[in-house]
Structure 1
Amino acid sequence: MAFYSIGDVAERCGINPVTLRAWQRRYGLLKPQRTEGGHRQFDDEDVQRIEEIKRWINSGVPVGKVKALLEGQTVNLNDGWFKLQEELIGILRHVRPAKLRTKIATMGRENPVDALIDHVIVPVRQKLSLDQTTARAMSSLLDGALIDYVAFCLAAGRKKAGKDALILGWGVEDRTRIWLEGWRLSQQGWRIDVLSEPLETLQPELFPGQTLFVWSGRALTRRQQEMMSHWQEQGFSIHLHASL
């Protein structure tokens, strides 16, 4: 029987080792064997279970609900994400920056980035955008903490083997979302840098030899699509980054 280290499994499954440890320790989702030196060893069944956990989470199931589903229980699939959203908003209401940073880091360790962005961070930011009074200050506090954490994650990712790329916003105003989408791309093996100021006019010739990801937050206009095709025909490595 083949055994794999946590680093091997993390690379194979596209999951951060820190997340795998959280799935084991906090949620009891994994039970790897140990070497005599105490290092985790995963077999092929463990890898299959990790892929199944990923499928549940990516389909919208909170990590805290996955174990019950794996055991065949019936659960409410939505209240887990809603609980995380409410916890985050509660911290913001009480203006607790240190607690906010800790909460974001904990969520980042325990959840795949795609699911965390789509089911917690984006909904919370949308809720805050509906209130133009105190929520504006809360939103600003949240965005600052998010950018701080994402920048830390991207810096750590650039120390690993991978492909270099730059993400930039095109015709958007949401600077924080550019960082979040860069974080999403970093989970796909890219060593991401972020051009944090969105551009109204895109000039790929300013970034010679670099792989560029463009995020617009909406479908490109016909003119934008034509420009993208033109740049690609000219040999620029430029790609539209689409997300939910």
Structure 2
Amino acid sequence: MALYSIGDVAERCGINPVTLRAWQRRYGLLKPQRTEGGHRQFDDEDVQRIEEIKRWIESGVPVGKVKALLEGETVNVHDGWTALQEELMSVLRHVRPAKLRSKIATMGREHPVDALIDHIFVPVRQRLGLDQNTARTMCSLLDGALIDYVAFCLTGARKKAGKDALLIAWGVEDRTRIWLEAWRLAQHGWRIDVLAEPLDMPRPELFPGQHLFIWTGKKPTRRQLEQFEHWQAQGFSIQLHETA
């Protein structure tokens, strides 16, 4: 029977090891074996269970209700993402930076990064962006806390084995999303550095020998695709970072 370390499973499933530990310790979703030295070891059934947990969470089920579903119980499943959005909005309304940082860190430990970005952070920022005055102030507070947390996560990811890359935003106005997309890439084995300011026109020749990700924030235009193909034809190690 094949056994895998928590690092192997994290890379295979696209889940942060911190999240796997939270699923085990706080929610009892996983029961890995232990080596004599106390290190977690997962088998193929564990991997299948992790993938099933991911599917439930990404479909909007609160992580606290997943165990009952896995055990075949009937539970009242509401839209978990909406509930988490409201929790974050509630924290923001109190305008307490320390509590906000703590809430973001807790979410980061308990949920897959892709799902957090797409179903919590982006929707909340969109809601705040529709209003003015107070909502914009809360959005600015949230953005600062998100960038602070993501920078911390990127620093940790760069200490691990992986592939180095630089993320460049092309024609993007939302600077905070640049950091969120860097965080997304970091969960897939990349040690990411960020060019914090978006560019009107990237210049890959300024970064010789580096692997570059280009993010346009939306579907690339025909002109952008043609330029991108030109860069590839010139031999640059460059790829588009596309999100759903």
* TM-score bucket (shorter structure): over 0.9
Superposed displacement of residue 31, structure 1: 1.7
Show the counterpart of 2:121: 121
Show the counterpart of 2:232: 232
Give the secondary-structure state (helix, strand or coil) at the position aligned to 2:235. Answer: coil
- The 1:9/1:224 distance shift into structure 2, 3 A limit, reads closer
The aligned length equals 244
User: Aligned equivalents of 2:37 and 2:178: distance in 1?
Assistant: 42
- The 1:61/1:233 distance shift into structure 2, 3 A limit, reads farther
Show the counterpart of 1:207: 207
Contact 1:101 1:145 in 2 (8 A): yes
Contact 1:167 1:182 in 2 (8 A): yes
Show the counterpart of 1:12: 12
Give the structure-2-normalised TM-score.
Answer: 0.93
**Quick check: 44-53 or 227-236, which moved more?**
44-53
> What runs of 5+ residues in structure 2 fail to find an aligned partner?
none
User: Aligned equivalents of 1:68 and 1:230: distance in 2?
Assistant: 53
Give the secondary-structure state (helix, strand or coil) at the position aligned to 2:236. Answer: coil
Show the counterpart of 2:243: 243
Deviation sequence 1:46-84 (CA, Å, 0-9, x none): 122112212333444442332233223445555321121
- The 1:219/1:77 distance shift into structure 2, 3 A limit, reads farther
Show the counterpart of 1:99: 99
Query: Which amino acid letter does the alignment assign opposite residue 112 of structure 2?
Result: P
Give the structure-1-normalised TM-score.
Answer: 0.93
Contact 1:166 1:210 in 2 (8 A): yes
Superposed displacement of residue 207, structure 1: 1.3
Show the counterpart of 2:68: 68
Give the secondary-structure state (helix, strand or coil) at the position aligned to 2:195. Answer: strand
User: Aligned equivalents of 2:38 and 2:202: distance in 1?
Assistant: 52
Contact 2:11 2:189 in 1 (8 A): no
Superposed displacement of residue 37, structure 1: 4.6
Determine what percentage of the aligned residue pairs are the same residue.
80
1:197 aligns with 2:220: no
Aligned alpha-carbon RMSD (Å): 1.7
Q: Map residues 74-153 of structure 1 onto 2, 5 A cutoff.
A: 74-75=74-75, 77-153=77-153
Contact 1:64 1:80 in 2 (8 A): no
User: Aligned equivalents of 2:128 and 2:145: distance in 1?
Assistant: 15
1:40 aligns with 2:40: yes
Show the counterpart of 2:218: 218
- The 1:12/1:224 distance shift into structure 2, 3 A limit, reads closer
User: Aligned equivalents of 1:4 and 1:237: distance in 2?
Assistant: 32
User: Aligned equivalents of 2:192 and 2:45: distance in 1?
Assistant: 32
User: Aligned equivalents of 1:31 and 1:85: distance in 2?
Assistant: 29
Query: Which amino acid letter does the alignment assign opposite residue 118 of structure 1?
Result: D
Contact 1:65 1:80 in 2 (8 A): no
**Quick check: 154-163 or 217-226, which moved more?**
217-226
Deviation sequence 1:30-56 (CA, Å, 0-9, x none): 122334554433222212211221233
> What runs of 5+ residues in structure 1 fail to find an aligned partner?
none
Contact 2:168 2:202 in 1 (8 A): no
Give the secondary-structure state (helix, strand or coil) at the position aligned to 1:199. Answer: coil
Contact 1:167 1:193 in 2 (8 A): yes
User: Aligned equivalents of 1:56 and 1:22: distance in 2?
Assistant: 16
Contact 1:164 1:191 in 2 (8 A): yes
Contact 1:2 1:43 in 2 (8 A): yes
- The 1:3/1:239 distance shift into structure 2, 3 A limit, reads closer
